[in-house]
């Protein structure tokens, strides 16, 4: 009998979790769609521990929110009995702030912490949400301890990860000389 690898999945909101509100006619963070996304995946050998921390657009996050996200991810990475890694689902506009905050507070965490999000909500026909979540769930099982971003067929290590709005993806800034 093989044991399942435990992954803590922290949800914070963001575009990936936005749903359409028929009354207001806008996409908003009201309910989490992560359980629907997870149910559509074949997750053999993996046990997901869900932590619904908040459901905010990252543009509405405060410095305290970024610290809470970082501290929660670090605590889950250290958890007694341990998890095999931590995935943080986050809005892409301020994702880098939370990723950098983890590095500031923990340096290299006990297990990998992988951030992901989406440029387009899961509810839209043309979305990157499910692919990015799948990539993060795989990456967290393969990378060494550290803080990462996984989306758009790439894994980038913090510090120095930022959103490139012109290209609609994330890039890694070159290390200073």
Domains of the chain: 5-161 (3.40.50.1170)
Task: Return the structure tokens found at 141.
Answer: 């099982």
- pLDDT number for residue 72: 97
Say if CB 38 and CB 48 are below 8 A apart: yes
* Other CB atoms within 10 A of residue 90 CB: 32
* Per-residue pLDDT of the chain in tens (177 residues, 90 and over written 9): 567 889 999 999 876 665 555 555 555 555 567 788 888 899 988 999 999 999 888 889 999 999 999 999 999 998 855 668 999 999 999 999 999 999 999 999 989 999 999 887 666 667 888 899 999 999 999 999 999 999 999 999 999 999 999 998 999 988 766
Judged by phi (left if over 0) then psi (alpha if -120 to 50, else beta), residue 49 lies in beta
Distance CA 136, CA 125 (A): 21
Backbone angles phi, psi at 116, to 5 degrees: -150, 170
Angle at 65 between CA 118 and CA 17, to 5 degrees: 25
Distance CA 83, CA 71 (A): 15
How would DSSP label each residue in 9-34? EEEEESGGG-EEETTTTEEE--S--H
- pLDDT number for residue 22: 54
């Amino acid at each position: 009998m093989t044991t399942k690898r435990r992954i803590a999945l922290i949800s914070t909101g963001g575009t990936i979790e936005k749903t359409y509100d028929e009354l207001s006619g806008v996409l908003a963070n009201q309910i989490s769609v992560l359980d629907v996304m997870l149910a559509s995946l074949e997750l053999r050998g993996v046990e997901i521990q869900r932590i619904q921390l908040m459901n905010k657009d990252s543009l509405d996050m405060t410095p305290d929110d970024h610290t809470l996200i970082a501290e929660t991810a670090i605590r889950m990475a250290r958890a007694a009995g341990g998890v095999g890694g931590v995935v943080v689902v986050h809005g892409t506009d301020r994702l880098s702030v939370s990723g950098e905050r983890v590095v500031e507070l923990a340096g290299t965490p006990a297990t990998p912490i992988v951030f992901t999000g989406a440029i387009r909500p899961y509810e839209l026909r043309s979305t990157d949400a499910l692919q990015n979540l799948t990539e993060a769930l795989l990456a967290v099982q393969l990378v060494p301890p550290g803080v990462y971003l996984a989306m758009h067929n790439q894994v980038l290590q913090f510090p120095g990860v930022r959103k490139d709005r012109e290209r609609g993806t994330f890039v890694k800034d070159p290390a200073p000389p």
